[in-house]
A and B are shown apart, each in its own frame.
Chain A
Amino acid sequence: VADQRDLANEAALAAMARHALHDEELVAGYAANGLESEAEIAQARVLVDRCTVCRDLHRDIAAIGSALAVEGTFTTKAPRDFRLTVEDAHLLGGRVVTRGFLASLRRSLAGLARPIGGTMATFGLIGLLVGSAALSGGGATGALSGAAPTSAPAELQAGGTQPGPKSSTTDTAFGPMATVESTRAGAGGDRDLTAVRGTNPALWLLGGSVALLLVGIGLLLVARRRARGTDDSS
């Protein structure tokens, strides 16, 4: 028995001596399936097959790997509450209240976007129709009797000048150009200026209506997009 024991010890010592030259990291990599090169894998396999110490190492490291994988299933509670206070948020960004205010303002405006947008678009459309009718139907001054100054006929009577080509110029000219044309009118300037003033409301009404319509449609689109986003999130 003693001889057998000695032989076993000698064999173990010999194995240890041989193992001293072996690359343990290679065996560890092999156990973790972390080797990529075929040569390294083959070398590690030879070590594990032929060296008992390497074989034990391989087995142990694989077992530790399995135990580590189970570690991820253990849970623990955070020892304190990590929620940020308003003071923290101020220190970190300094804009939390402002941003919160802006956010709530944006949400409130988003809620109003549909009614306001609808109203604006409606008024824009009406304005556009009225403006177009005013321009197309018998000249701006005549058609816009409600909106334009009523002094035009009286002035025509007072000046005694027949409306001629100059007045047609004022029908088509707009803004500064119309003013230039009217100042060129000489003696009939007063009457022409009045005519220009009479034309402006129709054109301004048209321009304003188009702007109103576009803004209204924009607001409606924003409200629709917002509503879709809310539907998606809910």
Chain B
Amino acid sequence: VEDLRATTVTDDPVQRRDLILLDRAREGDLAAFNDLVVAYQDMLFALVVRMVPDRDQASDAVQEAFFSAYRNMAGFRGGSVKSWLSRIAINAAMDAQRLKKRRPADPYPELEDEAWQPPADASADPVTTALTTERHRALNGALARITNDQRTAIVLYDVEGYDYAEIAELTRVSVGTVKSRIHRGRLALRGLLEDRMDLFRG
């Protein structure tokens, strides 16, 4: 087993912790792997449920992602464990989307908006917080109604902060296709939110 600490030098304590945990997990320490699961399960679930707006399916996808990560630990070649896990989760989410495409009769259910927590900002007044929450609800509802490809591109670009090239690599399409999906997706969102644009116009 390759010593990850020897190959990857990082000053970020979280990243160092992750590398140590992964190193131990690769030696067969299941508890170390589960520490990584606990550290990232909420973050990965949030990412996946945005791409697959069905909590049950998103849960299954996240579980599958952790299974896949466990199976492929030996293939980790250094870098950020968080990025590595995110990529695996994105792949699992896209697999779940493909599965859903084969059963188009079941629409995505309404998201449980109460499960989402707005950013903790003590200085924000209640009106601002309420407006942010209302925007979030409207946006999430609209996101669930655009195509999987457009939603994936928008979530990865606008919400998760990946750049065009990274999204192209993750989704295995050209950069031009990624841009087109993002732009069309935004147009579609605008069409769906037309009656509620006053929420967003500031």
Contact = CB atoms under 8 A, between A and B. Distances in A.
A6 interface: no
Nearest to A100: B28
10 contacts: A61-B187, A65-B186, A70-B119, A71-B136, A83-B38, A96-B28, A99-B27, A100-B27, A103-B28, A229-B3
A67 interface: yes
B194 to A, nearest CB: 8
A64 B190 contact: yes
Nearest to A73: B119
A64 B28 contact: no
A185 B115 CA distance: 96
B182 A24 contact: no
B168 interface: no
Interface of chain A, main secondary structure: helix
Given A28-B186, A89-B33, A233-B16, 13 more contacts: A24-B187, A29-B179, A29-B183, A32-B183, A32-B186, A71-B50, A71-B140, A78-B62, A84-B34, A89-B30, A100-B27, A103-B24, A106-B27
Interface string A196-234: 000000000000000000000000000000000100110
Nearest to A59: B201
Interface string A65-92: 1111111111111111111101011001
B102 interface: no
B159 interface: yes
Nearest to B114: A76
Contacts, number: 152
Interface residues of B, number: 58
A65 B186 CA distance: 8
Contact of B159 (A69, A86, A93): A69
Interface string B53-77: 0010001001100110011000000
Contacts of B3: 229
B98 interface: no
Interface in B122-139: 132, 135-136, 139
Contacts of A70: 119, 132, 135-136
Interface string A37-68: 00000000000000000000101110111111
B116 A74 contact: yes
Given A92-B71, A229-B5, A60 B201 contact: yes
A98 interface: yes
B189 to A, nearest CB: 5
A67 B70 contact: no
Interface residues of A, number: 51
A154 to B, nearest CB: 60
Contacts of B67: 84, 88, 92
A134 interface: no
B41 interface: yes
A11 B16 CA distance: 63
A98 B28 contact: yes
Given A64-B190, A69-B159, A81-B41, A75 B117 contact: yes
B3 to A, nearest CB: 7
